[in-house]
Amino acid sequence: MSLQIQTNVSLKPFNTFGVDVRARLFAEAHTDADIRQALAYAAEHKVELLVIGGGSNLLLTGDVDALVLRMTSRGIRIVHEDCDTAIVEAEAGEPWHPFVQETLARGMSGLENLSLIPGTVGAAPMQNIGAYGVELKDVFDSLIALDRQTGETREFSLIECAFGYRDSVFKHQVDRWLILRVRFRLSFSAKLKLDYGPVRQRLQEQGIKTPTPIHVSRAICSIRSEKLPDPAMLGNAGSFFKNPLVTAELAARIREAHPGVVAYPQADGQVKLAAGWLIEQAGWKGFRDGDAGVHALQSLVLVNYGAASGLDLLRLAKRIQADILERFGVSLEMEPNLY
């Protein structure tokens, strides 16, 4: 068997919170064959298989009694190209931000607003990653996934993925589907989206009057770098809570009491509230309890100042959830997967 399985491995280097827990078994999958061997090993030895990518959307609350399989497959290829469009396929283990930069370097646009998001290509469709007015579904073509129950591969179209706000069919069927590679439909003629957040303002500050996709990517990288801590320096998983969707009636009541509330009306009549604004108004920004805390510059981000456990961070998250529910009547949902 080519798959190298290790025992009692620390997962601290493999989760961006830097939580120091141990995996009973650990392996890295460079190829589809490695994945199949891991599935066979897990079935034969009756152990759970936990698949991880960059560990950037994961909160580990204790040692992992499973075979942890880290996706490390690499490869970027163009599967179709015409005068205006390219369909680009990337292996699941490709780091997300370098992949985005590679497409921009090849003159393709579409992914620039998703720059500097941590994680891997294979994990991106699971929660339909999004930022600055663009979601993965907006540039998605299809993906190939392995059925963990039958061993067969299947191609998923956009509709079949059932993408929603930070959601997909794969997020609800983690034990069924394992994403192998993803295809994106990108354009050689830029259709820039600049009106969400401070993107246009940042471009103006930089003196850029006719921006290119690369300009947009750089602007977003600078904004994110100012707002979000580098996991290599301060453990975190990016935005910890989803922006909640509430009824128009509840949004109106909150606005009456708090005229400055940040809210975005939705096509279905609901209103999306900025979770970070709610948390900041409740006084949690910069809060610290031991080594678990809320980032001083971005209240959506929970951080590990060094030795916080996953349970420490989870307890803090639950305190914030309870407080926001009591103050505003709004339920906050955690983004990271708990294990």
> Which sequence positions are flagged as catalytic?
166, 239, 335
Integer-rounded Cα Rg, in Å, for the chain is 20
- Report yes or no: 242 and 335 within 8 Å, Cβ to Cβ: yes
SS3 124: coil
Q: Which two tokens stand for residue 80?
A: 């179709």
Give the largest Cα separation in the chain, rounded: 64
- Residues pairing with 164 in the sheet: 167
Beta-strand relationship, 85-91 and 130-131: unpaired
**CA 235, chain centre distance (Å):** 15
Token pair, residue 292, equals 């678990």
Distance CA 140, CA 185 (A): 6
CA distance 110 to 112: 6
Q: Which amino acid is at 233?
A: M
Length of the chain: 339
Q: Pairing state of beta strands 235-239 and 301-304?
A: antiparallel
CB 166 within 8 A of CB 131: no
What is the token pair recorded at 26? 């650990």
Angle at 265 between CA 161 and CA 256, to 5 degrees: 140
Beta strands in the chain (DSSP E): 6-10, 22-29, 49-52, 58-59, 64-71, 76-81, 85-91, 130-131, 134-135, 140-147, 153-157, 177-187, 235-239, 245-246, 263-265, 271-273, 288-289, 292-294, 301-304, 337-338
Strands 85-91 and 76-81: antiparallel
What are the backbone angles phi and psi of residue 281, rounded to the nearest 5°? -60, -30
